[in-house]
């Protein structure tokens, strides 16, 4: 895997010129200059050190773009990205959250719809138009990346229907992928609520002891031989946010569908079935995905409760 060493963001200003209202100045000037010299030296050394440190820790997969795929036509919820949540379009809320993520160099909305594009440009988002033939968010991200024509190392696929996504979760999966060279994909899970255990729309995940995904299922995994939900077991719920190595994203849509992917109707299984590694982080997040029109009221009342605006 080839990657260019970063043109390191040199924010390391070695400006050590202290404001000279110092009481030393008139009396003991030789001593002052020696002291000043030492301090300047220390500052320069620190700046050089910090720079070396940053280029070292940041060089792997350090160019990151967040893409919010958004389509107008949806079988379950027509025009979903533009639905207003407490007076603001849902896509804008998602975008505002994403903009707060420190690891993203750019955030773009990828859409096939002119109404969505126009709305997003109005609130200041970068927009990439993608074709209507994209079958899902991953393909839309892949096409958007190509059209952007920039050399990003990581694409974060930020679902437009999670308007309360925490920027820390975005940063978390990016850092996980940067720290795990043998993984091509990273994603997040949170604790599964017992009442969601048997809901096939809540996707469950099991991971190994180093945090790599073993499997995802719409059924409850692991299965307890009693046939019941084990209230003591820390089941994991998959959150719909993922990041990919861009080299992998270029081949991902073209990988043939796999048996487990088709049977569970879970796109991410194709990654595992082809033998690629996926890193999973655990986060605290109450999922409030907006899938159907009724979810809007739910999320609004929750936001009022918590004084979120
Ligand atoms: C299954 O669940 C029960 C609680 O419902 C728990 O006590 C038990 O350890 C679990 N595992 C097995 C193998 O029974
Ligand atoms: C979604 O995208 C993936 C990867 O791009 C593709 O392999 C898969 O077949 C698509 N799923 C559907 C339902 O079209």
SS3 4: coil
For residue 162, what pLDDT is reported?
85
Interacting residues of 289 by C-beta distance below 8 A, sequence separation 6+: 159, 161, 162, 240, 295
For residue 12, what pLDDT is reported?
40
pLDDT (average), residues 237-261 = 95
Task: Give the residue among 90, 32, 28, 104 at the shortest CA–CA distance from 61.
Answer: 104
Higher pLDDT, 46 or 285: 285
Domain residue ranges of the chain, discontinuous segments joined by +: 64-305
For residue 132, what pLDDT is reported?
86
CA atoms within 13 A on the CB side of 238: 30
The rounded Å distance from CA 265 to ligand 1 centre is: 29
Residue nearest to atom 9 of ligand 2 (CA): 257
The rounded Å distance from CA 224 to ligand 1 centre is: 6
The rounded Å distance from CA 136 to ligand 2 centre is: 6
For residue 72, what pLDDT is reported?
83
For residue 27, what pLDDT is reported?
47
Task: Give the residue among 79, 147, 146, 164 at the shortest CA–CA distance from 116.
Answer: 79
For residue 20, what pLDDT is reported?
40
The rounded Å distance from CA 227 to ligand 1 centre is: 9
Pocket test for ligand 1, best of 194, 223, 224 (most atoms within 8 A of CB): 224
Q: How far apart are CA 77 and CA 184, in angstroms?
A: 32
Question: Which range (45-54, 192-201, 204-213) has the least confidence?
Answer: 45-54
The rounded Å distance from CA 26 to ligand 2 centre is: 74
| 118-143 pLDDT tens trace | 999 999 999 999 998 888 888 899 99
Question: Which range (9-18, 77-86, 162-171) has the least confidence?
Answer: 9-18
Q: Which atom of ligand 2 lies nearest, measured to the CA of 253? A: 5
Taking phi over 0 as left and psi of -120 to 50 as alpha, with beta for the rest, 132 belongs to: alpha
| 3-53 pLDDT tens trace | 334 444 444 444 444 444 444 444 455 555 555 655 666 666 666 666 666
Q: How many CB atoms lie within 10 A of CB 19?
A: 5
For the chain, the average pLDDT equals 85
For residue 11, what pLDDT is reported?
40
Q: Which atom of ligand 2 lies nearest, measured to the CA of 270? A: 7
Task: Give the residue among 28, 90, 77 at the shortest CA–CA distance from 288.
Answer: 90
- Find the ligand nearest to 233 CA: 1
Q: Which atom of ligand 2 lies nearest, measured to the CA of 255? A: 7
Q: How far apart are CA 56 and CA 3, in angstroms?
A: 13
Task: Give the residue among 178, 204, 179 at the shortest CA–CA distance from 190.
Answer: 204
- Find the ligand nearest to 69 CA: 2
Kindly list the protein residues whose Cβ atom lies closer than 6 A to any atom of ligand 2. Answer: 135-136, 138-139, 252-253, 257, 267, 270
- Find the ligand nearest to 248 CA: 2
List Cα–Cα distances, 243 to 30, 73, 208, 268, in angstroms.
57, 24, 19, 11
- Find the ligand nearest to 266 CA: 2
Residue nearest to atom 6 of ligand 1 (CA): 230
The rounded Å distance from CA 138 to ligand 2 centre is: 7
The CATH superfamily assigned to 64-305 is Spore Coat Polysaccharide Biosynthesis Protein SpsA; Chain A (3.90.550.10)
Higher pLDDT, 6 or 115: 115
Q: How far apart are CA 86 and CA 92, in angstroms?
A: 12
Q: How far apart are CA 56 and CA 73, in angstroms?
A: 44
The rounded Å distance from CA 243 to ligand 2 centre is: 16
pTM assigned to the model: 0.79
DSSP secondary-structure letter at 23?
Answer: T
Angle, helices 114-122 vs 90-99, to 10°: value is: 50
Residue nearest to atom 7 of ligand 2 (CA): 253
């Amino acid at each position: 895997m080839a990657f260019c060493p970063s043109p390191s963001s040199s924010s390391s200003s070695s400006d050590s010129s202290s404001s000279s209202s110092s009481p030393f100045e008139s009396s003991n000037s030789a001593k002052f200059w020696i002291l000043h010299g030492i301090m300047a030296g220390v500052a320069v050394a620190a700046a050089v050190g910090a720079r070396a440190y940053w280029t070292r820790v940041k060089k792997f997969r350090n160019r990151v773009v967040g893409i919010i795929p958004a389509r107008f036509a949806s079988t379950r919820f027509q025009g979903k990205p533009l639905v207003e949540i407490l007076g603001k379009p849902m896509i804008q809320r998602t975008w505002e959250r994403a903009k707060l993520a420190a690891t993203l160099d750019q955030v773009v909305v990828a859409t096939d719809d002119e109404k969505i594009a126009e709305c997003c440009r109005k609130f200041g988002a970068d927009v990439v138009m993608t074709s209507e033939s994209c079958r899902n968010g991953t393909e839309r991200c892949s096409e958007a990346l190509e059209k952007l024509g920039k050399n990003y190392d990581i694409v974060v696929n930020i679902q437009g229907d999670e308007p309360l996504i925490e920027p820390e979760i975005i940063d978390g999966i990016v850092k996980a992928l940067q720290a795990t060279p043998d993984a091509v994909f990273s994603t997040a899970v949170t604790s599964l609520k017992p009442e969601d255990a048997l809901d096939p729309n809540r996707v469950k995940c099991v991971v190994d002891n180093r945090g790599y995904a073993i499997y995802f299922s719409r059924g409850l995994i692991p299965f307890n031989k009693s046939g019941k939900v084990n209230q003591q077991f820390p089941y994991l719920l998959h959150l719909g946010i993922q990041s990919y190595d861009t080299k992998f994203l270029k081949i991902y849509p073209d990988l043939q569908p796999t048996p487990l992917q088709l049977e569970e109707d879970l796109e991410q299984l194709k990654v595992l079935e082809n033998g690629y590694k996926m890193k999973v982080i655990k986060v605290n997040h109450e999922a409030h995905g907006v899938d159907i029109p009724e979810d809007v009221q739910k999320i609004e009342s929750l936001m009022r409760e918590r004084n979120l605006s």
